[in-house]
Amino acid sequence: MKSALGMIFLLFVGMCYAQDPANLAKYELILKDKSTIAIVVNKVTKAKELVLQTNSQNCTLEKGMSLTFSDDMDFRFHDQIVKCERVDKDEFTLSTSMILSDAMYEKFAKTDLISFTLGNKKIPIDFQEGESLIKLIPFINEESK
């Protein structure tokens, strides 16, 4: 009985350690319209999370996300939860996040993301000059070693 409780305790401590902000590295790009695309890397588990955020005038649809790449591949996640938070009287922030599979992470490394959709709001990708996810991925890979 004691060994089972001990194992549960160690598992709990390990999970807390992995989620400690000190063990997370965030790589964020800001688009010209002030939307953001970030990849958060857990230094312990090596899991990678995609975080998307944009501003909106309303919160009419709080479900669904899509990613459109330059090779015409479109990934749709109809049940993806989109958080909507009021920032100001007439402004909201829409955001969502998802764990990236190795295959999806490789897609970001090789193909330009040209737009994403949160709920029913489509955001064209227009990076600040000289920035791109393709350029960011090798940096993330090097930092994550």
pLDDT by residue (tens digit) across 87-108? 888 899 999 999 999 999 999 9
Phi, psi at 138, each rounded to 5°? -60, -35
What does the pLDDT profile of the chain (145 residues) look like in tens digits? 445 444 444 334 344 334 566 788 899 999 988 899 999 999 888 899 999 999 988 887 678 999 999 999 999 999 999 999 998 888 999 999 999 999 999 999 999 999 999 998 999 999 888 888 888 999 888 877 7
Q: How many CB atoms lie within 10 A of CB 52?
A: 22
Domain ranges in the chain are 23-143
Q: By the 8 A CB rule, do 122 and 25 touch?
A: no
Phi, psi at 144, each rounded to 5°? -85, -5
Question: Which pairing describes strands 24-30 and 36-42: parallel, antiparallel, or unpaired?
Answer: antiparallel
23-143 has which fold?
A: Immunoglobulin-like (2.60.40)
